Structure 1
Amino acid sequence: MISFFNNYERYFSEEFELTLDDVLISKNSYDSGVEKFNIKIDGIKLNIINVTKPIMNGKWLNVFDNVNLIIYCASLTDYNRQSKQIRNKNRLVETIEIFRSICGLECLKTIPITLFLGQKQSFYRKLEKNKLSKFLKGFRSDGDNKRALGFIKKKFLTEAKKVSADRKIFDFIIEDNSLDEISDLFRIISNLIKQEVKRK
């Protein structure tokens, strides 16, 4: 993640070519579990903590001391994939369960959460060959992409409300991770943090 923010303009360039350093940095970032870094957007300094392995027996909870906002990112295209940790477990279902567990933690109950559901266009393309009803119980509107998207979004929000009815959740759909879109999203995050700081 640190490497991404340091190199995001290069990554989105039409001339981008993957290097060995990119691969090694990506692997090290994933293996480390928790990263901390700073970025500046519109004059606002953001201290970002990236938890790449949320299932760490609670060892990561202390990194959230004094945070103003939790950002939870999930890929819509995971609906037909298997969990890397649990055999025969749907990866998106697992992601929803982790989101629910985070929302239910007493120590985080006053911290608002921003939910990013990513890769919308890739998700729509994938639905053409992999029907959502085959992988997620309760969905019966195959062929209607908007209903499919709404179904997944509702799953996240409903599960969160079960464990924290008053939880403040800001949800956003990410088209396909373009540079402009990512920049806009971080400006939104910056504004949300400003609002939370003023509220406190």
Structure 2
Amino acid sequence: MGNKNNNRKKKRQQEKKKNKTINKQLVDEKKKNSKKEFKMLLLGTGDSGKSTFVKQMQILYKGGFNTKIVHLYKNIIRINLKQHMKSLLKASTDLGIPLPKESVKIQKKFLELIKLDAVVWNDTIIDMIKKLWNEPQIKECYKSRHLFQLPDSSALFFEKIDEIAKEDYEPTQEDILNCRIPTTGVKELTFTVKNYIWNLVDVGGQRSERRKWIHHFADVDILIFVIALDSYSQKLFEEHSVNRMTECISVFEQTVNNEFFKKKRLVILLNKIDLFKEKLKKVKIKEAFPDYEGENDFEHTSEYFKNKFLDIVNHKKRSVSTHLTCGTDTIMIEKIFDDIRISIMEKFITTYL
């Protein structure tokens, strides 16, 4: 009798061991055949900071920029400088801040030169930009940049023009992050983190580019929508009568509530908090958004915009996270992407438990 019991016990142990082995093999096979690549679609209206986010991923997970790209940014920064000065000169007229007679002569010659040759960069151009930037009237225009189209980073480049003018100038990481190149078409960046592949797709945010978005919706795992908080008092490049934040809210609503994204994870980046804090000192939220009733401080105003976007999301059960970001802060962006990545991986791994 004892032998029979021992045999049954031994058989059950063998079956249990066999079942455990089979289950392990099934799990291993499932993992082996499972998806190891995640597609992130990066969206947002023009000048939201999407391209800066892509640059940060390049720095953090692709080893930075090669010599060819650095040289490209060198030329773009110089072109940016001329464009920024042109914007400031136009603003001096539009805002009624006239330049002294001598500077008017420089202004006229500068505009003639860059009109004749858009890529010209020589000692004459450099000297004119330096003289004009040092004019108190131009500095006054820069302080009023919330009234016209001018990147806040332009001062960074004007202040280091002597360095930029050198033949052996190489843009720093900070220079590249602050350099503005409007995204046209579709840019893709693929990188690996913790043995998983992340494919980041950046689609141009200007109005003319948005029709291309729909073609990238189908196989997306994560939608990242970037919002420039400081845009609340600015107008569109394409249509000067339209508020940028109002346009962003409209585009956000049309996009995130699209059927393609019903079950997709949504990440909202409330970007440019550094510029937003500075702008709050000059322009009240209520001037652009009359429904706002709170204090004009960062805590209350950022919460107001965060809730404004969250209220738009129709599918309340979907996974949504929000982050306050400064796109040029590499450490902050690394932490935020880690949070995004870990939350995605946790959901992914639970399918095997």
Structure richer in strand, relative to its length: 1
1:101 correspondence with 2:254: yes
1:118 correspondence with 2:118: no
- Measured at CA, do residues 10 and 100 of structure 1 come closer, stay the same or move farther in structure 2, by a change above 3 Å? same
**In structure 2, what is the equivalent of residue 170 of structure 1?**
321
Cα RMSD over matched residues? 3.0
**In structure 2, what is the equivalent of residue 92 of structure 1?**
245
Distance 2:226 2:78 in 1: 21
**In structure 1, what is the equivalent of residue 336 of structure 2?**
185
- Which of 288, 310, 321 is matched with 1:135 structurally? 288
The Cα offsets for residues 10-52 of structure 1, whole Å up to 9 and x where unpaired, read as 79xxxx996115678964x6122x2122022344321111122
Which is bigger in relative contact order (C-alpha 8 A, separation at least 6)? Answer: 2
TM-score, normalised with respect to structure 2 = 0.48
1:155 correspondence with 2:210: no
- Measured at CA, do residues 62 and 137 of structure 1 come closer, stay the same or move farther in structure 2, by a change above 3 Å? same
Distance 2:266 2:330 in 1: 23
Report the Cα offset of residue 83 of structure 1: 1.7
1:50 correspondence with 2:202: yes
Distance 1:154 1:7 in 2: 32
Distance 1:21 1:7 in 2: 19
SS at match of 1:72: strand
Distance 1:116 1:40 in 2: 22
* Unpaired stretches in structure 2, ≥5 consecutive residues: 1-50, 80-178
- Measured at CA, do residues 114 and 80 of structure 1 come closer, stay the same or move farther in structure 2, by a change above 3 Å? same
Distance 1:127 1:121 in 2: 10
SS at match of 1:19: helix
Across the two proteins, how many residue pairs are aligned to each other? 192
Distance 2:220 2:347 in 1: 10
Report the Cα offset of residue 155 of structure 1: 0.8
**In structure 1, what is the equivalent of residue 13 of structure 2?**
none
Q: Which stretch has the larger CA shift, 127-136 or 142-151? A: 142-151
TM-score, normalised with respect to structure 1 = 0.80
The Cα offsets for residues 128-150 of structure 1, whole Å up to 9 and x where unpaired, read as 11111101131122433211111
Tell me, yes or no, if the aligned pair for 1:38 and 1:46 is still in contact at 8 Å: yes
The Cα offsets for residues 154-176 of structure 1, whole Å up to 9 and x where unpaired, read as 11111223xx3333211111146
Q: Which has the larger radius of gyration?
A: 2
* Unpaired stretches in structure 1, ≥5 consecutive residues: none
Report the Cα offset of residue 85 of structure 1: 3.2
SS at match of 1:171: strand
Equivalent pairs: percent with the same residue? 17
The Cα offsets for residues 66-117 of structure 1, whole Å up to 9 and x where unpaired, read as 2211111111111110122344111011112111111211122111100000
